[in-house]
């Protein structure tokens, strides 16, 4: 199952969620009406004993009024929760007591976790998500939360970083990355909103009971007060029923997705021992995978392993049994859990780096020298599930970066300086004007860092640009609103200083703003309509024409590249635009509309871009960045595509 098929699966799961939610609401309507009719005397017990029926005694006007009230309350509760969660994964992580791990953390265990996340993110072609630590949780667990890769976060318990080896932690993180890329996070947010609506009646019953007791209405023979008291208790009972319905819904939506995420993690790392070893550790640990935070029940379906315990978990568990998950990954498992003590983290990391350095550098060189065709032509199929060579290549890129540059990109001041340095002009006159702009409008410390990094950044290989951006984005997300607005304005001014915007500058700007703007600015409301390629002919022509010109050495090669792209689309309706007909402003508008293509149409468009790139049997650095910017605009993380030589 590839990335695009996974998106369709999530859409089908959303339909299932809507159906189950509707059935639960209908059940709540019936139960609430029964409660109201009995508490306030609409149903006469004597008539029932004499052969009467509920239906004959039902006050239908009241029934529909109560039903409408239940629908309004449930929908209001769901929409309120979704609005609260609109801040993305950060809100979920903080609700569980998670604390953001700084990217330049020095704690060996936290450093190990950040290295694994960063490596996998770059291998996936997406900025590393912020990582939150649930410091007071000794159990082994993790989760991914957010609406899309742009606002995703990963949360990990203290028990996970203390008890898991690097290999096992890599398996767990790969599992969570599969949830990010497969759209499961968005489904989890919707599920949390739906369940809050279902549970809201029980919460109303609790507050009604509390207010009744507090006001003293229970005293005396106040029949009205007694009725309200009975209604409150009844609503609390209905709330328990809502909890049961909610657990069943979570179980029905979540269980199979965990098997798929396990399989994706194995495909990601090519190492079943990693995730299987983590599951065996959970089975051998006293605390298992339990999360003690009171908010864990609400987020239980998003955890790596079963996070809560209870009498009904055998029926409504959000995760498959631990043993079944292990056997699916490791059929030869002997049934014994891992009771051993974890290895010293610092020693493990040091030995692991030494042992893997030569191998990974060698693998990266092999990929770069002989398999560029596979990385560019297979990149679409690797979206969401990059292979081991991609991870090796990411490790190689990170190891080649100067330590001072890499560490600077992991904190907000240095990240801004790194990005500014990437767009400084090579000509001294324009560069002087750019530096004058930064001296006046940038933070003084950031300006000083930019001056200090210029020499090293001028010598930086083009292939390191995107990994640096991926490292810098999480740090840039930590800026305040005013800091980001200043950074954004400065970046645009630096790019426009030379009165032209080249493709490398445009792609860098596009990738950054794709991931940052939605955090700092409220996204505009968009229509939900999904388009086919035939609906957006002009936009497709613009993208494919730009792609062809980006790699074309002459008019003939441009036409061949465009022809290869159109052939991949299977249509001859599209025409090649001249270079002077392509405007950056038009391109931004085109991508905004192409974002609403149907998933399979987006897949076809990206494959057409790949065909354009490889039409001359070579991949340039410009094409790599533009391709990545296109994919990012459509919310698809593109694994690293290696630039290779073109034929003479």
DSSP 387-420: -HHHHHHHHHHHHHS-HHHHHHTTSHHHHHHHHH
276 or 379: which leads in pLDDT: 276
Q: Are 640 and 397 in contact (CB under 8 A)?
A: yes
Instruction: Output 336 or 62, whichever has higher pLDDT.
Output: 336
Determine the pLDDT at residue 472.
92
- The phi and psi torsions of 353 (rounded to 5 degrees) equal -65, -40
pLDDT at 215 over 60: no
CA distance 496 to 433: 11
Per-residue pLDDT at 1:
47
Confidence band, pLDDT 50/70/90 cuts, at residue 641: low
Of 335, 328, 272, 278, give the one whose Cα is nearest residue 305: 278
Query: Is residue 58's pLDDT more than 70?
Result: no
Residue in 95, 208, 92 with CA at minimum distance from that of residue 147: 92
Q: Please report which confidence band the pLDDT of residue 217 belongs to, taking 50, 70 and 90 as the band edges.
A: very low
Low-confidence winner among 132-141, 214-223, 532-541, 569-578 (lowest mean pLDDT): 214-223
Contact 364, 396 (CB under 8 A): yes
Confidence of residue 7 (pLDDT cuts 50, 70, 90): low
Residue 263 burial (CB count, 10 A): 18
Over 60: is that where the pLDDT of 91 sits? yes
With 70 as the cut, is the pLDDT of residue 2 above it? no
pLDDT of residue 562: 92
- Averaged over 314-342, what is the pLDDT? 82
SS3 38: helix
Please report the pLDDT score of residue 647 as a whole number: 44
pLDDT at 432: 94
- In the sheet with 142-145, reading across from the earlier edge strand, the strands are 99-100, 131-134, 153-157, 142-145
What average pLDDT score do residues 39-43 get? 64
- CA angle at 21 for the pair 18 and 25, rounded to the nearest 5°: 135
CA–CA gap between residue 224 and residue 642 (Å, rounded): 75
At residue 63, the pLDDT reads 80
List strand residue ranges (DSSP E) for 51-97, in order.
none
pLDDT-wise least confident of 118-132, 301-315, 355-369: 355-369
d(CA 400, CA 93): 33
Given 176, 298, 541, 623, which residue is catalytic? 176
pTM: 0.76
Share of the chain above pLDDT 90, in %: 22
Q: Which two tokens stand for residue 568?
A: 């991949």
Of 157-171, 197-211, 458-472, 519-533, where does the model show the most confidence? 157-171
Nearest CA among 210, 642, 142 for reference residue 392: 642
Q: How far apart are CA 590 and CA 597, in angstroms?
A: 11
90 vs 47, more confident: 90
d(CA 625, CA 493) in angstroms, rounded, equals 21
Q: What is residue 169's predicted lDDT score, i.e. its pLDDT? A: 93
**% residues pLDDT > 70 (the chain):** 77
Rounded to whole angstroms, the Cα distance separating 629 from 633 reads: 6
pLDDT tens for 444-472 read 999 999 999 999 999 888 888 888 998 99
Instruction: Please determine, for residue 386, whether its predicted confidence score (pLDDT) is greater than 90.
Output: no
What is the predicted pLDDT for the residue at 120? Answer: 86
Mean pLDDT calculated for residue range 244-260:
72
Catalytic residue at 400? no
Average pLDDT score, the chain: 79
Output the pLDDT for position 273: 85
The alpha helices in 216-344, defined as continuous H runs, are 223-269, 272-284, 296-299, 313-316, 322-329
pLDDT for 93: 92
Q: Is the pLDDT of residue 528 over 60?
A: no
Average pLDDT over residues 381-402: 74
Is the pLDDT assigned to residue 389 strictly greater than 80? no
Place of tokens 């949830």: 179
pLDDT of residue 595: 84
């Amino acid at each position: 199952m590839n990335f695009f098929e996974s998106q369709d699966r999530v859409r089908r799961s959303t339909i299932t969620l809507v159906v189950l939610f509707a059935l639960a609401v209908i059940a709540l309507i019936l139960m609430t009406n029964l409660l109201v009719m009995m508490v306030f005397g609409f149903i006469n017990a004597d008539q029932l004993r004499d052969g009467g029926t509920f239906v004959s005694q039902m006050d239908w006007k009241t029934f529909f009024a109560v039903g409408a009230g239940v629908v309004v309350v449930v929908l209001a509760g769901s929409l309120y929760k979704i609005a609260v969660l609109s801040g993305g994964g950060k809100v979920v992580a903080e609700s569980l007591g998670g604390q953001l791990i700084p990217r330049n953390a020095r704690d060996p265990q936290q450093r190990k976790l950040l290295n694994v996340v960063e490596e996998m993110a770059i291998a996936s072609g997406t900025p590393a998500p912020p990582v939150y630590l649930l410091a007071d949780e000794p159990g082994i667990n993790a989760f991914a939360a957010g609406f899309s890769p742009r606002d995703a976060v990963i949360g990990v318990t203290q028990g996970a970083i203390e008890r898991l080896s690097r290999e096992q932690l890599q398996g767990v993180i790969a599992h969570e990355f599969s949830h990010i890329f497969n759209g499961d996070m968005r489904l989890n947010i919707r599920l949390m909103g739906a369940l809050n609506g279902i549970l809201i009646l029980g919460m109303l019953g609790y507050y009604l009971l509390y207010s009744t007791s507090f006001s003293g209405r229970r005293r005396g023979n106040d029949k009205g007060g007694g009725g309200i008291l009975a209604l409150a208790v009844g609503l609390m009972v209905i709330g328990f029923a809502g909890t049961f319905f909610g657990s069943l819904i979570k179980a029905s939506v979540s269980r199979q997705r965990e098997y798929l995420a396990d399989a994706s993690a194995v495909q990601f790392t090519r190492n079943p021992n990693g995730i299987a070893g983590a599951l065996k550790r959970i089975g051998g640990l006293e605390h298992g995978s339990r999360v003690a935070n009171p908010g864990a029940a609400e987020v239980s379906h998003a955890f790596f392993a079963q996070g809560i315990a209870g009498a009904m978990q055998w029926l409504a568990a959000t995760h498959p049994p631990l043993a079944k998950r292990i056997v699916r990954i490791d059929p030869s498992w002997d049934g014994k859990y891992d009771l051993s003590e974890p290895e010293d983290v610092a020693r493990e990391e040091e030995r692991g780096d030494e042992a893997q350095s030569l191998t990974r550098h060698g693998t990266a060189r092999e990929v770069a020298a002989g398999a560029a065709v596979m990385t560019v032509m297979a990149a679409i199929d690797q979206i969401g599930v990059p292979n081991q060579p991609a991870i090796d290549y990411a490790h190689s890129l990170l190891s080649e970066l100067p330590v001072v540059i890499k560490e600077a990109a992991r904190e907000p001041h240095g990240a801004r300086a790194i990005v500014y340095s990437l767009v400084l002009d090579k000509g001294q006159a324009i560069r002087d004007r750019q530096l004058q702009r930064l001296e006046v409008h940038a933070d003084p410390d950031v300006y000083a860092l930019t001056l200090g990094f210029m020499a090293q950044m001028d010598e930086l290989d083009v292939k390191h640009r995107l990994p640096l951006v991926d490292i810098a984005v999480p740090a840039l997300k930590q800026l305040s609103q005013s800091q980001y607005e200043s950074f954004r304005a400065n970046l645009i001014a630096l790019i426009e200083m030379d009165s032209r915007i080249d493709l490398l500058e445009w792609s860098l700007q596009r990738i950054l703003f794709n991931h940052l703007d939605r955090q700092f600015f409220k996204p505009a409301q968009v229509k939900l309509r999904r388009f086919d390629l035939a609906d957006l002919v002009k936009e497709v022509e613009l993208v494919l024409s730009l792609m062809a010109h980006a790699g074309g050495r002459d008019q003939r090669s441009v036409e061949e590249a465009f022809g290869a792209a159109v052939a991949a689309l299977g249509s001859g309706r599209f025409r090649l635009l001249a270079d002077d007909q392509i405007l950056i402003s038009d391109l931004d508008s085109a991508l905004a509309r192409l974002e609403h293509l149907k998933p399979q149409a987006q897949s076809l468009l990206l494959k057409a871009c790949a065909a354009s790139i490889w039409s001359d049997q070579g991949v340039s650095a410009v094409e790599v960045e533009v391709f990545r910017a296109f994919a990012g605009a459509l919310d698809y993380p593109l694994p690293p595509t290696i630039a290779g030589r073109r034929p003479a």
